[in-house]
Chain A
Amino acid sequence: MLELKNISYEVSDENDNKEILKNISLSIDERFVAITGPNGGGKSTLAKLIAGIIKPTTGKIFLDGKDITDMSITERAQNGISFAFQQPVRFKGITVKDLITYAVGHPISTTEACSYLSEVGLCAKDYINRELNASLSGGEAKRIEIAMTMARGTALSIFDEPEAGIDLWSFQSLIKVFEMMHEKAGGSIIIISHQERILNIADKIIVLANGELVNMGGKDEILPSLLTDGPGCSVLMDKMKEVRNG
C-alpha cells in the first residue's frame, strides 16, 4: 500500500515560487488505479515524487507503512517501485537486452529477454540486440519502456501515459499486460492516462487538476463526471477563468 500524506511540491524561479502540487493526501491499495486530469495538472510530477526522482517540499510518503520520503531512487526501486516514463530515455550503445537485464536484476537468457518484448507486441528478434538510441521510433521506445517495467515485476508499478504513441497496438493488449503483471506480482498498478478505455479498467480514479486533488473514487462515480458537463468540466472552467484572470 502506498500512502501520500500532505504532499506539496514547489519550484522556485527568479521571481517567485510555483506550487505544482498542493497538499495531496491519498492512499493506493487497489489493483488498478488511474490518475487523470488536464495537461499540466501535476500527474507526472506526482509519479516522479513516488519514484523518488524529486523530493516533496512538504509531506510524507509511505510504502507498506514504511516512511520512504528520504529514500533515493535506487532504494525505492529496490523496495519494489517501478516507473515507466512518459518520455522514454534514449541511450548510446546500451541495447534493449542490456536494459531488460538491468530491470530483471540478474543475467538472463536471450529467450527470456525476448519474452518480455513479445508481450508488448514487438517482434523480439528485431529489437533485442538493438541499441535503445534515438533511431527507435516513439512507439517502439514506449513499448520497450513498458517491457522493462514488466520485467522488474515489482508490487508497485507506475505507467505514465503508456498508451501514448502506440496506436497500432490494441488497448486490449496493453490491458492484458497490466492484468498479467498483477497476476504475477500482486500489488498495485498506477496508470496515468487520458484514455477512457484505460480509465474503464480502474478500480479507483484520481483526478488531478492545477496541482490539486479534485476528485477520487470508483470509476462508476468518477467517469460520468469526467465525460459529461459535470464537475470534470467545472474544473476546466475554473482553470480557464484563472488563465483569463492571469
Chain B
Amino acid sequence: MDRITKDLLEQVAGLHDIPTGAYNIRKDGQLYGRNVSANIDIVTKTDKPGIDIIIKDNTVNESVHIPVIIAQSGLKEAVYNDFIIGENCDVTIIAGCGIHNGGKEASEHSGIHSFDIGKNSKVKYVEKHYGQGEGTGERIMNPKTHIVLKEGAYMEMDTVQIEGIDSTLRETSAKLADDARLVIKEKIMTHDKQYAETNFSVDLDGVNCSADLVSRSVAKNESKQIFKSEINGNNICHGHSECDAIIMDNASVKALPALTANNLDASLIHEAAIGKIAGEQLIKLMTLGLSEEEAEKEIVAGFLK
C-alpha cells in the first residue's frame, strides 16, 4: 500500500492496514480490495458504479468498512451504495472518503447511499470526509443518503468533515416507521473559501418514532455554511434538531430550520445558536496561562470533539 493510500485510509476509516471482517475499498474508481463474511455479502452493481451490501437477519457485532480513496487529480465519480440490512441486526458501518488532489483539476466524489434497515435492527454508521494535497484543484464531495427505518429500527449516523473539502452539499433524508429512532451527529469545519451545505429531511411517519439531528460546526476565514433541516411530524412522534455554530474571521453561517406538525401529538423542537467564541471562555483559559491563540484552538477542538 503506498503512502497516500495508507494516509487517507487512516484519516477516513481509522485503518492502519487492511481491516478485519467485511470490507470494500475503492480507489480511483476501481475495486482495490474486498472481503465478505458469512453474514455480510458485498456485490458489485451491474447497471451503475457501486455496490450492494447485504446483511443477513440476526447479524450482530459485525462491522463493514467501505472507504473510498481518490488520489488521481481530476477524477469525477458518482457511486451508488445500497445497504440492505435484515431484522434484529446490530452492526457498525464505517464509510468515508478521502481525496488527495495533487493536481490542478477538480476531484469529485458523490456517494449516493441508501439504507433499508429491517425491524428492530441497530446500525451505527460512521462517515468521515477528508481532503489533502498540495494541488490547486478543488476537492468536492456531495454525499446523498436516504434512510428507511422499519419498525423498531435504530440508526446512529456520525458524520464528520473537519478538513480539506472545498465544496460539499450533503443531503440526508429519512423515513421512520413505528418506534424507529434516528440520531444524526454532524461535525463540520470549513476554512478559507470553502463551502458546506447540509440538507436534512426527515419524515416521522410511525407511532412513537423519533429523530435527533445535531450539527456542530466551525466556520473560519471566508468560508460559508448553510444548514437546512426539515422535520415532518406525521404521527405521535418526537423530533429535535439543533444547529450550533461558531463563526470566526469573515465566515458566514446560515441556519434554516423547518418543522411541520401534521399530527396533534407530534412534538418538534429546533434550536439554533450561531456566534463567535464566547469571550468568557477565552478569558477563562487565558487566566489558566494559555495565550489567546491557544485558547481559541482548544475551544474549537473541544467543540468539534
- In the complex, identify which listed stretch (B56-64, B116-124, B174-182, B297-305) lies at the interface while the others stay far away: B297-305
- Contact indicator B288/A92 (Cβ below 8 Å): no
Interface of B, helix, strand, loop or mixed by DSSP: helix
Interface string of B277-299 (1 = CB under 8 A from A): 01011011111111110000011
Contact of A72 among B286, B298, B304 (CB under 8 A): B286
Interface size class of A (residues with CB under 8 A): 20 to 34
Partner of A91, one of B287, B292, B299, B304: B299
- The reply to whether A152 and B289 contact each other, CB–CB distance below 8 Å, is yes
Nearest residue (CB) in A for B291 is: A74
Is B244 an interface position by the 8 A CB rule? yes
Q: Is there an interface contact between A105 and B289, defined as CB atoms closer than 8 Å?
A: yes
- Chain A CB within 10 Å — which of B216, B283, B299 has the most? B283
Query: Are B286 and A74 closer than 8 Å at their CB atoms?
Result: yes
A92 touches B244 (CB 8 A): yes
**Residue pair A77, B289 in contact (C-beta under 8 Å):** yes
Q: How distant is the Cα of A98 from the Cα of B305 in the complex, in angstroms?
A: 12
Which A residue's beta carbon lies closest to that of B244?
A92
Flag whether A73 is at the interface (Cβ < 8 A). Answer: yes
Instruction: Point out the residues of chain B lying under 8 angstroms from A78, CB to CB.
Output: 289
- Among A72, A91, A152, point to the contact of B288 (Cβ < 8 A): A152
Task: Find out whether the CB atom of A89 lies under 8 angstroms from the CB atom of B281.
Answer: yes
Q: How far is the CB of B73 from chain A (nearest CB, A)?
A: 35
Contact pattern, A 76-91, Cβ under 8 Å of B = 1, otherwise 0? 0110011101000101
Known contacts A91-B302, A92-B244, A92-B303: A102-B288 contact under CB 8 Å: yes
Asked if A98 and B281 sit within 8 Å, CB to CB, the answer is no
For residue B300, which residue of chain A has the nearest CB?
A93
CA distance A74 to B291 in the complex (A): 6
**A102 adjacent to B290 (CB under 8 Å):** yes
Across the interface, A89 reaches (CB within 8 A) one of B284, B298, B302, B305, namely B284
Give Cα distance in the complex from A53 to B287, angstroms. 9
Separation of A89 and B292 alpha carbons in the complex (Å) = 16
| A103→B288 contact, CB < 8 A | yes
Could you say which of A82, A93, A98, A105 contacts B287, with CB atoms under 8 Å apart?
A82
Is A51 close to B, CB under 8 A? yes
Give the complex CA separation of A91 and B279 in angstroms. 11
- Known A74-B290, A74-B291, A77-B289; judge A93-B284 contact (CB<8 A): no
State whether B280 touches A93 (Cβ < 8 A): no
Q: A131 — which chain B residues lie within 8 A by C-beta?
A: 302
A-B contact pairs, 26 of them (CB 8 A): A73-B286, A73-B287, A74-B286, A74-B291, A74-B292, A77-B287, A77-B288, A77-B289, A83-B287, A89-B278, A89-B283, A91-B281, A92-B244, A92-B302, A92-B303, A93-B301, A93-B303, A93-B304, A94-B298, A94-B299, A99-B288, A102-B285, A102-B288, A102-B298, A148-B288, A152-B289
What would 15 more interface pairs be, CB under 8 Å, given A89-B283, A91-B299, A93-B303?
Answer: A73-B287, A77-B287, A77-B288, A77-B289, A78-B289, A89-B280, A89-B281, A91-B281, A91-B302, A93-B302, A93-B304, A93-B305, A98-B302, A102-B298, A152-B288
> Which residues of A line the B interface, CB within 8 A?
51, 53, 72-74, 77-78, 81-83, 85, 89, 91-95, 98-99, 102-103, 105, 131, 148, 152
